[in-house]
């Protein structure tokens, strides 16, 4: 592949940035990769494992001369970072981010972007429950969506260049309105994560009275929840604080639906439960057909984690 950016500055060196570094290196997409992380330990690890050619103690130093700057810090940290780097951005550079929420990031970052610099917000829909500079791997983005939410007046050449990079790292690209992005994500990701956190919290109370059987006999329903609920607390705190309106809307709908089913259980209304459970199979089929998951049972998978238990 050919070099797409001469100098990429990764601000924040966690799972997403380190995976980007691996992917860009594996495919020769960046002339040079530099980075900044708040923690001295993270910076040392980034050099030790070869994530970055250079690391800097400040974001301002890292972005100097970069033609691509990627903000890969928690959403709540974006405003301060943008204010810091604004005066140091090179003319013609592109700034993007990898935050899970887009309207709040745009409000935090856009005011600090000087004329002649292109801000194109982005959201790679990929991750694991691991975090930190050692958690990245080059194939994280393979066949995953990477959503971009450019403004109406975004420079087309800059947009296409960023799109090329994202494609070259293995991802599928789509563009979307920021508000719509935040609603869709509230449904497919943010609210499910909050629910998983909540269920694990309930079990945690009971674990103390059930002599750790809850852990020992954790079945798939619950095991999947714990995997989701072990994701990075800082990142998720910021997601909920910054996508508040959409999440509260979806949570309200969720609570209504849950109470309908809870009442059906209390009243012994088997037909209502059966009908509900039958309808939810259809959306699952839709997901398999959309290629976001496979219908194949994981017979060969190490460990039991994809089977179900009742």
Contacting a copy of itself within 31-70 (CB under 8 A): none
Among residues 180, 107, 115, the alpha carbon closest in space to that of 153 is found at 115
Q: Of the two residues 147 and 158, which places its CB atom closer to a copy of itself in the complex?
A: 147
Q: What are phi and psi of 210, to 5 degrees?
A: -110, 20
Tell me the closest approach of the beta carbon of residue 170 to a copy of itself, in angstroms: 11
Tell me the closest approach of the beta carbon of residue 223 to a copy of itself, in angstroms: 5
**First vs last C-alpha separation in the chain:** 49
Tell me the closest approach of the beta carbon of residue 58 to a copy of itself, in angstroms: 25
Residue of the chain from 10, 76, 83, 161 that contacts a copy of itself (CB under 8 A): 76
Is residue 140 within the footprint of a copy of itself (CB under 8 A)?
yes
Size of the site for a copy of itself (CB under 8 A): 121
Residue of the chain from 104, 120, 162, 239 that contacts a copy of itself (CB under 8 A): 239
Site for a copy of itself in 186-215 (CB under 8 A): 187-207, 210, 212-215
Tell me the closest approach of the beta carbon of residue 49 to a copy of itself, in angstroms: 16
C-beta neighbour count of 192 within 10 angstroms: 15
Tell me the closest approach of the beta carbon of residue 209 to a copy of itself, in angstroms: 9
- DSSP per residue over 180-198, as a string? HHHHHHIIIIIHHHHHHHH
Q: Please enumerate, as own/partner, the contacts of 197-203 that have beta carbons within 8 Å and a separation of 24 or more.
A: 197/228, 197/229, 197/236, 199/225, 199/229, 200/225, 200/226, 200/229
Q: Of the two residues 118 and 190, which places its CB atom closer to a copy of itself in the complex?
A: 190
């Amino acid at each position: 592949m050919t070099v797409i950016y001469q100098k990429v500055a990764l601000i924040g060196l966690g799972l997403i940035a380190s995976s980007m570094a691996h992917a860009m290196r594996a495919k020769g997409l960046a002339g040079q990769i530099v980075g900044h992380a708040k923690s001295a330990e993270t910076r040392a690890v980034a050099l030790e494992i070869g994530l970055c050619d250079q690391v800097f103690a400040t974001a301002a130093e890292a972005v100097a001369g970069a033609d691509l700057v990627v903000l890969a810090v928690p959403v709540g940290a974006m405003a301060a970072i943008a204010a810091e780097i604004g005066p140091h951005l090179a003319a013609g550079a592109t700034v993007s981010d990898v935050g899970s929420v887009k309207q709040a990031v745009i409000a935090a970052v856009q005011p600090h972007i000087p004329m002649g610099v292109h801000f194109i917000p982005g959201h790679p829909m990929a991750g694991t429950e691991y975090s930190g500079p050692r958690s990245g791997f080059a194939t994280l983005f393979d066949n995953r969506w990477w959503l971009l939410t450019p403004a109406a007046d975004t420079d087309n050449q800059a947009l296409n260049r960023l799109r090329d990079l994202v494609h070259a790292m293995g991802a599928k690209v789509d563009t979307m309105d920021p508000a719509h992005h935040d609603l869709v994500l509230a449904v497919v990701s943010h609210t499910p994560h909050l629910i998983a956190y909540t269920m694990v919290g309930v079990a945690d109370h009971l674990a103390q009275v059930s002599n750790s059987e809850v852990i020992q006999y954790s079945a798939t329903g619950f095991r999947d929840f714990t995997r989701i609920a072990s994701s990075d607390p800082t990142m998720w705190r910021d997601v909920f604080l910054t996508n508040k309106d959409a999440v509260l809307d979806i949570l309200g709908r969720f609570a209504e639906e849950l109470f309908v089913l809870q009442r059906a259980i209390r009243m012994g209304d088997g037909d209502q439960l059966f009908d509900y459970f039958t309808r939810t199979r259809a959306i699952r089929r839709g997901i398999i057909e959309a290629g976001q998951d496979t219908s194949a049972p994981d017979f060969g998978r190490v460990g039991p984690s994809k089977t179900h238990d009742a």
